[in-house]
Structure 1
Amino acid sequence: MPRPISVLLLALSLFTVTFAVNLQAPLYDVYAVESNVGATAVTVAFAAYVGGLMPTLMLLGGLSDRIGRRVPIALALVLGVVATALLVHIPGWSSLVIARVLLGVGTGLATTAGTAYMTEILGEHRARTAALIVTSATSLGFGGGALATGISLGIQGPTLMPYSYLALFGVAPMLTLIAFGLPRVDLPRKVSILRLPVFPAGTWMFGAAMALAWSTTGMTIAVVPLELAENDLGGWTGLVIFLAIFAGFLCQPMARRMTNNQALALGFVLIPLGFLILLSGVWLNALVLVLAGTCITSAASYGFTYLASLAEVSLRAPTDRARATAGLFVYAYFGFSLPVIASGALADWFGLLMALIIFALAQIISTMAIVLMWKRWSVRSAPAFR
C-alpha cells in the first residue's frame, strides 16, 4: 500500500475513533432528563470516559508494542460503534456512563498505538510531522462529532437517532476491516502485555500544561453547555464544543513553525485569557464572547499545547513512543476529568455560574504556579558558563 494512502487511512481511523467520543454531547441534557439527574451526575457521566481511558493508559499504553499497532486501532473503532449503539437502544444516564467508559478505552488504545504507528509509517526523521497529523486528525474528530450531532438535531428536530450516529455506524465498520490491511511496518516486541506509561525526563511541564489546558476544554464541553441551556442557548452547544477543539486545529500549522517551548509558553498565556472571556460571555449572556473565549482556549489546548507536548515526548522517547504518549495523556486526562466533576458538584451547591468562577480562579493560580516552577527549573537546568 502506498505510503500516502496508509497515512490517510490511519488518520481517518483516528478521526473516526475520536469523532465517536463527543458525538453524544449535545444530547447530554436529554439523557439527564430521561433519568432525572442533575449537573453532578452529568459531569460524572462525562468524566466516566476517563474511567475507561486512564486504566488503559496506565496498564495497556504499550500493548501495541506487543501485539502490533493495527489491532488496538481496529478494536477502538468497534468500541465506538458499541458505545453509540448502546445509547440508541437504552438512552439514559446509566447507559451514558457505560458508553463513556467504552469510548475512553477505545481512545486510550487508538491514541497510543496511532502516534507510534504514524511515526513508523513516515519514518523517524518526520516524527514532528507525524505528531502534527495525529493531533490534527484527533482534534477534528473530538470537535467534529459534537458539531455533526448538533447539525443533525437542527435538521431533524428532537431525536435520539441523529444522522451523525448513522454516519458512524456506516463508516466505522469499514475502517475496522481496512485497519487490518494497513502495512505492518512496526516490529512487535516480546514484552509484557501490561506495561506502565513512561514519563521522559524533562517533560513534566508539558504534562502539567496538558492537564491545565484540557481541564479548560473539559469545562467547555461538559459544564458550559449546561449554562447555555439554562439561558435558552442550548442549540449552540454543538458549535461551542466544535470550536473548543477545531480552532486549535487551525492553529497547529502556526505551532509547528515555533519551538516546542515557545508554543508551550503561548499556550500558558491563552488558556486563562480565553476562559475569562468565555466566562464574561456566560455572565453577560453574550454568545459572541462565549464563542470568542472558546476559540482562544481551543487555540491553547488543541493548537499550541497539544502539538508541542506530543512532539516533545515523542522526540524524547524514540524507543518507547507508545508508552510515552500514554504518560502524556495520563496528565491530560487527570486535568480533563477531576475539575469537571468538582465543578459539577459546585454547580449543584452554588449554581453553574459560581462553579465557573471558582474554576477560573483556580485556573489562574495554577497557571502562575506552573509557569514559576518551569522558570526556576529552566534556570537550574541551564548549562553554566565560566
Structure 2
Amino acid sequence: MPKLIPVSLLSLGLFTVTFAVNLQAPLYDAYAAESDVGATGVTVAFAAYVGGLMPTLLLLGGLSDRIGRRGPIALALILGTAATALLVQLPSWTSLIVARFLLGIGTGLATTAGTAYMTEILGSDRAKNAALIVTSATSLGFGGGALATGISLGVQGPTFLPASYIGLFVAAPVLAMIALGLPRVDKPRNVSLLRLPVFPSCTWRFGAAMALAWSTSGMTIAVIPLELAANDLGGWTGLVIFLAICVGFLCQPIARRMTNDRALALGFVLIPLGFVVLLAGVWLKVLAFVLLGTCITSAASYGFTYLASLAEVSLRAPDDRARATAGLLVYAYFGFSLPVIVSGALADMFGLLSAMLMFGAVQIIVTTIIVMTGKRASVSPVATLDAGIGTR
C-alpha cells in the first residue's frame, strides 16, 4: 500500500477525533441555560475535558507501545461519537461535563498513538514531516468542529442537533473501522500497560510555552464566547474558535523553516500581544479587534509554539515518542484548564472583563519569568525544525 493512503486516512482520523472536541462549543451558553449555571459552571464543564485527558496522558500515554497504534485511534473515534450522542439525548450542563470527559480520554489516546504512528509510517528520517502533518490535522480538527456547528446553527436556527453533529455520527464509526484496517508498521513491545509520560531533558521551556499558549487558547474558546453572547454577538462564536486554532495551521509552514528556539521565541512575543489586542476588542466592543487578537494568539499557540514543541520532544525522545508526546501534552492541558476555571470563578465574582484583565496581567508576568529563566538556564544547542529532527 502506498504511504500516501495510510497517511491520508490516519490524518483524517486524527482530524475527526479533534473535530469532535470543540463541536459543541457554540452551544455552551445553551447548555448552561438549560441547567441555569454561570461562567464558573461553563468553564468547569469545558475543563472536564482535561479531567479525562490528563489521567490518560499520565497513565496510558505509552499504551499504544503495548497494544499497537490502531486500537487507541479507533477507540477515540467511538468515544467522540458517544460523547456527542449523549449531548443530543440529554442536552444539559451535566451531560456536557460527561461528554467533555469522554472527549478528553479520546484525545489523549489518539494524539499519543497518532504522533508515533505517523512517524513510523513515514520513517524516522521524515519525523519533521510527520510532526507537521499531525499538528496540521489536529489544528484543523480542533477549530473546524466549532466552525461547522456555528455554520449549522446559522442555517438551521437554534437546535441541539445541528448538522455538524450528524456529520460526525456518519463519519466517525466508518473511520474507526478503517483505522483498524490500516497497515501495522509498529512493533508492539512487551511493556506495562500503564506507562508514565516521558519528559525529555532540556525541553521544559517548550512545555512551559505550551502551557502558556494553550491557556490563552482556553480563554478564547471558553470565556470569549460568553462575552460575545452578552453583547449579542453569539453568532460569531464558531468563527472566533475556528480562527483561534486554524490560523496557527496556516503559520506552521513558516514555523517549519525556523529553528525550534526561534519559533518558540516568536511565540512568546505573539501570545501576550494577541491577548492584549483581543482584550481591547472586548473592552471597546470592536469585533474586528477580537478577531485580529484571536488570529495573533492562534499563530502563537497552534503555529509556532505547537509545532516547535512537538518537534523538539520527538527529536529528543526517538525511542519513546508516544510517551514524550504525552509529557508535552501534560504541560499543554494543565495550562488549557486551570487558568480557565480560575477565570470563570473570577468572572462570576467580578465580571468577565475584570477576569480577562487579571488573566492578561498574569500572562505577561509569567511570560517574562519563563523567558528570563530560559535565557539563564539554556545550555542546549539550537535545534532546527527543518533539518535537525532527522539527523540527531
Residue pairs, 1:137-176, within 5 angstroms: 137-176=137-176
Cα–Cα, structure 1 residues 382 and 122, in superposed 2: closer, same or farther, change >3 Å? closer
Q: Per-residue deviation at 1:2?
A: 1.6
Q: What is the aligned partner in structure 2 of residue 47 from structure 1?
A: 47
Structure 2, gaps ≥5 residues long = 383-392
**1:67 partnered with 2:67:** yes
Structure 1 residue 187: Cα displacement: 0.1
Q: In the alignment, which residue of structure 2 is the partner of 1:356?
A: 356
Structure 1 residue 185 displacement after superposition: 0.2
Structure 2 residue 205 is matched with structure 1 residue 205: yes
Output the TM-score relative to the length of structure 2: 0.97
Per-residue deviation at 1:314?
0.3
Which residue is 1:334 aligned to? 334
Q: CA–CA distance in 2 between the matches of 1:346 and 1:224?
A: 14
Paired amino acid for 2:128: R
SS at match of 1:20: helix
Aligned length: 382
In the alignment, does 2:375 pair up with 1:369?
Answer: no
Deviations 1:325-372 (A, max 9, x none): 000000000000000000000000000000000000000000000000
For the 8 Å contact 2:73–2:114, the answer to whether it is kept is: yes
How far has the Cα of 1:181 moved from its partner? 1.1
What is the DSSP-based 3-state SS (H/G/I as helix, E as strand, rest coil) of the residue aligned with 2:21?
A: coil
| Residue 190 of structure 1, CA deviation | 0.2
C-alpha distance in structure 2 between counterparts of 1:204 and 1:87, whole Å: 37
Secondary structure of 2:249's partner? helix
Q: C-alpha separation between the residues in 2 aligned to 1:207 and 1:246?
A: 21
**TM-score, length-scaled by structure 1:** 0.98
Alignment of 1:72-91 (within 5 A): 72-91=72-91
**1:221-240 to 2 correspondences below 5 Å:** 221-240=221-240
Superposed counterparts of 1:63-142, under 5 Å: 63-142=63-142
Per-residue Cα deviation, 1:48-85 (whole angstroms, up to 9, x for no partner): 00000000000000000000000000000000000000
Matched ranges for 1:144-293 at <5 A: 144-293=144-293
Paired residue secondary structure (1:197): coil
Paired residue type of 1:362: V
Question: What is residue 24 of structure 1 aligned with on the other side?
Answer: 24
Could you tell me which residue of structure 1 aligns to residue 386 of structure 2?
none
Compute the displacement of 1:104 (Å).
0.1
Equivalents in 1 of 2:97, 2:128: separation in Å?
Answer: 35
Give the counterpart letter for 1:337 in structure 2: S
Flag structure 1 segments of 5+ consecutive residues without an equivalent. Answer: none
2:148 counterpart letter in structure 1:
A
Alignment partners' CA distance in 2, 1:62 and 1:226: 37
Q: Determine what percentage of the aligned residue pairs are the same residue.
A: 79
- The 2-side partners of 1:113 and 1:52 are apart by 16
Distance in 1, matches of 2:71 and 2:2, equals 20
Aligned to 2:58: 58
Residues 302-341 of structure 1: pairs in structure 2 closer than 5 A = 302-341=302-341
Distance (Å, rounded) in 2 between the aligned partners of 1:74 and 1:200: 28
Question: Alignment partner of 2:37: what SS?
Answer: coil
Using a 3 Å threshold, how does the CA distance of structure 1 residues 244 and 286 change in structure 2: closer, same or farther?
same
The offset of 1:298, in angstroms, is 0.0
Please tell me whether the aligned partners of residues 32 and 42 of structure 2 are also in contact (alpha carbons under 8 angstroms).
yes
Alpha-carbon distance, 1:382 to partner: 7.2
Q: Contact 2:202/2:380 (CA < 8 Å) preserved in 1?
A: no
